[in-house]
Amino acid sequence: MRVIRPGRVREFAARHPDATPSLERWLEAAEAARWRNLVDVRQVFRGADEVKVASGRTVVVFNIAGNQFRLITAIHYNVGKVFVLMLLTHAEYGKDRRKDAL
């Protein structure tokens, strides 16, 4: 897959060093993947979930660093692209504001 905005992931990792190893593993795995659907994603990341957001679109949420962080993406399986939309701490994710922002 081609990860769109990997710099966003690295910027978040720089601010949250405890997320860095997990985010680097995520980037490496996502770039090497050829996902066709959520089932394929879950073979690598069992905790990945699809979530419907305010726009009506579906995003894929990854648990990072033992559930301390959330990585929210839009995966376009048909063209092999993963768009990095948001990275949040567990506390920020729990406030549900992200649903209105996407």
pTM of the shown model: 0.91
Better-predicted residue by pLDDT, 93 or 11:
11
Q: Where are the domains of the chain?
A: 2-101
31-78 pLDDT, tens digit per residue, is 999 999 999 999 999 999 999 988 899 999 999 999 999 999 999 999
**Contacts (Cβ under 8 Å, ≥6 apart) of 96:** none
Q: Which two tokens stand for residue 6?
A: 């990997």
Domain 2-101 has CATH 3.30.2310: yes
Q: Which residues pair with 60 in a beta bridge?
A: 50, 73
